[in-house]
Amino acid sequence: MIAALVKDLERSGLAAQQLANTAGRRWLNRRSRELGLSLSPLLQDFIESLIRGANVLLNSLKADRFCGISVMDRHIYCQLVLRQLRGQFSGFILPWLARRSTKNALIVVLDVPPELAHYRVHTREDDFETLDYLRASRGEYLNLAKANGWPVIDSSRPIAQVVAQLRALLAQSVVEVDSCP
């Protein structure tokens, strides 16, 4: 969806970039299995939080320097949802970083029914998520959206429809797009 939105923005003559804020969870899980390691949930979260935090900081700098629209895939909020589902303390730094780095951003939750998300995850064959986890994480994302007034888009629809709705939200957004000199 994000890549399609960026391509659509570029086709219409706008400068746009996609920035991924991964936590390296798939890589970490795969490497742990390969090495026969079992990481404690706290150590895994610590490593994931460092990776995601670094990605968000780097991508926020890229976005600040970019003359156009930056579309970020994932964010610190993903790590906060994961901590909530693991029963871990959210801490102080991650919530602060999440609020600070999205202060002037349009945040949209792309919602997918858990069963469809489960199918998509397993089709990729490079990750594994249980249906229970996907149901719980969807609930957390929807709670965040409700608490923060973020729009939610049904992303089970065709890509063109989702992109059109994202473009409409962007058009009515108060987010300022830096003009190029």
Residue 177: predicted pLDDT = 54
R_g of the chain computed on alpha carbons: 17
> Tokens 């991650």 belong to which residue?
94
Tally Cβ neighbours within 10 Å of residue 48.
21
Q: Torsions phi, psi of 172, nearest 5?
A: -95, 0
The H or E element containing residue 48 is helix 41-65
Identify the bridge partners of residue 16 per DSSP, sorted by sequence position: 69
DSSP 178: P
Identify the bridge partners of residue 111 per DSSP, sorted by sequence position: 154
- pLDDT tier, 174 (very low <50, low <70, confident <90, very high otherwise): low
Residue 175: predicted pLDDT = 58
Set out the domains of the chain in order of their start, with CATH numbers. 2-171 (3.40.50.300)
Task: Determine the Cα–Cα distance for residues 4 and 123; give it in Å rounded to an integer.
Answer: 20
Q: Read off the pLDDT of residues 59-88 as tens digits, 9 standing for 90 and up.
A: 999 998 999 999 998 888 988 998 999 899
CB 63 within 8 A of CB 29: no
CB 151 within 8 A of CB 109: yes
- pLDDT tier, 176 (very low <50, low <70, confident <90, very high otherwise): low
Tally Cβ neighbours within 10 Å of residue 11.
9
Alpha helices in 107-181, H assignment, sequence order: 114-124, 131-148, 159-172
Cβ-proximal residues to 55 (8 Å cutoff; 6+ apart), any chain? 20, 21, 22, 23
Q: Average pLDDT of 98-126?
A: 88
> Tokens 């969870």 belong to which residue?
25
DSSP 92: S
